[in-house]
Each structure stands twice: as structure tokens, then as C-alpha cells.
Amino acid sequence: MQYQSKLPHVGTTIFSVMSALAQEHNAINLSQGFPNFKSDSKLIYMVSKAMNSGFNQYAPMPGSFDLRTVISEKFENLYNSSYHPESEITVTAGATQAIFTVISTFISKGDEVIYFSPAYDCYEPAITLHQGIPKAIQLQSPNYAIDWNLVKSEVTSKTKMIIINTPHNPTGSILNATDLLALQDLTNGTDIIVLSDEVYEHIVFDNAQHQSACLFPELKKRTFITASFGKTFHNTGWKIGYCCGPSELMSEFRKVHQFNVFSVHHPTQVALAEYLQTPSNYTELNAFFQQKRDLFIKLIEGSKFTFTPSKGSYFQLLNYKAITDENDVEFAKQLTINNKLASIPMSVFNSNNQDDKMLRFCFAKTEDTLKQAADILQNI
């Protein structure tokens, strides 16, 4: 057969490469972003209970109404912002599906989409697949702050969407209120749709407050917010998340969603609807993950790696300039093979493959795992 690939430059992801390398060499895997500890046994029990209670057929296409209702209540409680459970919230097969569906729904041939690199790796392929034009604005280490004047200069009559991500994967940076106000001002009076990837909304450190797009009324009118229960509750394999947005946009989103996945695992939705009724199950996550971040960076103090403490997410960047001039992909591989510790090289997230000698480490791990990893880093 002869065919023309729609994604000719997409190969095996760096996550798969590094995890396979970690497994091959029996290395500690701090590369992929998933916890190595168990999720709450109460939530596991609730899923089992839902299965045994007969919730094993298709859920409603937009998601269980009970779950959408409790999501709506969560936004009211956290942000004093409302999304109607009937028309403005859809349960999805993880945040990545939600992101893909937003792009599928609104991006056509020639539409420009602005996003910021280093970037989570699902944005650009989805844009390209729908014949959109990806326009990456490169952020600079160590702060990865957005220059909104530069963004403004990149907006054209073809700009259809701007994608933001806070807390940010892979850098661990966060956007502040000034950033969101700048985006609100920039998009006012335009037809630009904003896609706000807020997967790590419950993992923000040092008493900072997550700045959700829904906090800014004019911005909210044009914005989809995507989120992940898998990331939040340590069950990434469940692939369940949700998307919020204004009803007129959400109605278009659901047209695509229903022919993509239609609906999402029903017993998990029933369980989450019950689990979310206890807000401490998500409001205490900041402290939980800050303890892990603080432990990890304390354990590596005095090593040859330098760092700015992560402000959010469960990733920490480490700079290795004091160790070698080797490119980050090769250094990450050698660190896995020779030192038995897997990480992710940051250049793969950059639109221009810019190499700042940075590696990303996931600290959503047990204390013992973090101590073992830190011992390795201290001896390099």
C-alpha cells in the first residue's frame, strides 16, 4: 500500500523511549508523569461498588449528570464561577482527548494556533492533523515567563486559537493574574478561542493560588478549560477528565465528542461523583505534593545540579551545565543507562529543539524512590 502520512514527522514519543530504556536497564523511572504510589482505597472501593451496582452500560454522552453537577459545584466553591452541568461541562477520556476534541472542532486548514514551548507534546500534532498552522512562542529558562507584547505581535487575522497551560508541564511554572488579564485584553473583540490546559490545577505551591481562566469574566466567554481526574487522583490509567466551556462553544465540542469516544467509563464517573463530594480529597493535594517537592530538592542540595523550585505540577527541572556540555537527549540516555535514573530531556518540548541543559524529573513518587534518585544525583 502507498499512502501519505498526515503526521510524517511524528515517531515514538520521548516518554515511551525513556520508559523503555528505564525498564531495559532497571533504572528508577522519574521520566513519565505518573505516581508510583496507590490511589485512595476509598475511591477504588467506590468504583467497585458502582460496578457491582450495575453501572456497566453506556454513560450519557456528555457524562453522568451527577458527576457534572459536582464538577459545577467544585468551580463554585474554588473560583466562585459557574458552569451549567447540563450545557457547559462534558466528561472526557482524559484531558488529552478533551484537548484534541477542542482543536478538532474549531481548527481548519490555514487557521493559526499560538501556543508556548516548551509545550506538552499533544498540541502540535493535533493542530497539524487538522491542517492548522502551529505557531510556537519559545519561552526562556529559568522562569519561562510569557512576553505578552511578543504574543500580540504574533496575532494575525488567521489566529483562531491560543493555548495556555498552567500549572505548566513540563517546566513547573505558573501563570499569574497579570498574565491572564493580558490574555483577556489581547483577545477581547476578537474571534479567538482560548484553550486553557489546567490539568494540574490542584498542585500549586508556596501558598500561590491557581489562576483559572474562569476567574476572568471576559476571558471565560471564549475559553475551554480541560482537566484530568487521572492526574488529580493518581489514576492516570483510568483516562478520565472533563472539559468546561460556554454553552455555544460546548454544543459544537459535543458534536465531535459524540463521534470520537461518545461516552466515558460509567462506573468511574459514578464513583467520582461520590468522591468529589468531599472537597478535602482535592484541596489537600497542594500540601501533599509540596512535601514531595520540598523533600526532593532538599535531598539534591549540594549536588552539581542547579534548579529553581517548581511552582506547580509534579515536575522539577534540573540544570546540568556544571556537569557536561553533552546535549540533553544524550545525557538523559546515559544517565539512565550508566546511573540507573530516567528523566526527560527538555529540548524535545521546544519548538526549535533549544537545548538549555535541562532535564525534567517527576517527583510524584514514594519517599524511598525520591531518596534513591537523590543519592544517584548527588554522586554525579
| Boundaries of every domain in the chain | 14-32+284-378, 41-279
Q: In whole angstroms, give the CA distance from residue 255 to residue 64.
A: 17
Task: Give mean pLDDT, residues 17-35.
Answer: 93
Instruction: Report the pLDDT value the prediction gives residue 178, as an integer from 0 to 100.
Output: 98
pLDDT for res 351: 85
Report the pLDDT averaged over residues 347-368: 94
Rounded to whole angstroms, the Cα distance separating 222 from 200 reads: 21
Q: Record the pTM.
A: 0.96
pLDDT tier, 350 (very low <50, low <70, confident <90, very high otherwise):
very high
Which ranges constitute the DSSP H helices of the chain? 14-24, 41-52, 65-79, 94-106, 123-129, 148-154, 177-187, 217-220, 229-232, 247-257, 266-275, 280-283, 285-299, 328-339, 367-378
Average pLDDT across the chain, whole number: 96
pLDDT in tens, 206-217: 999 999 999 999
CATH of domain 41-279: 3.40.640.10
pLDDT tens for 306-334 read: 999 999 999 999 999 999 999 999 999 99
What does DSSP assign to residue 357? Answer: S
Strand-pair category, 112-117 with 133-138: parallel
Question: Within 10 Å of residue 237's Cβ, how many Cβ atoms?
Answer: 10
d(CA 76, CA 70): 10
Which homologous superfamily is 14-32+284-378 in? Aspartate Aminotransferase, domain 1 (3.90.1150.10)
Encode pLDDT of 117-128 as tens digits.
Answer: 999 999 999 999
What local confidence, expressed as pLDDT, does residue 11 receive?
78
Residue 187 CA, chain-centre distance (Å), reads 23
- Does 33 or 116 have the greater pLDDT score? 116
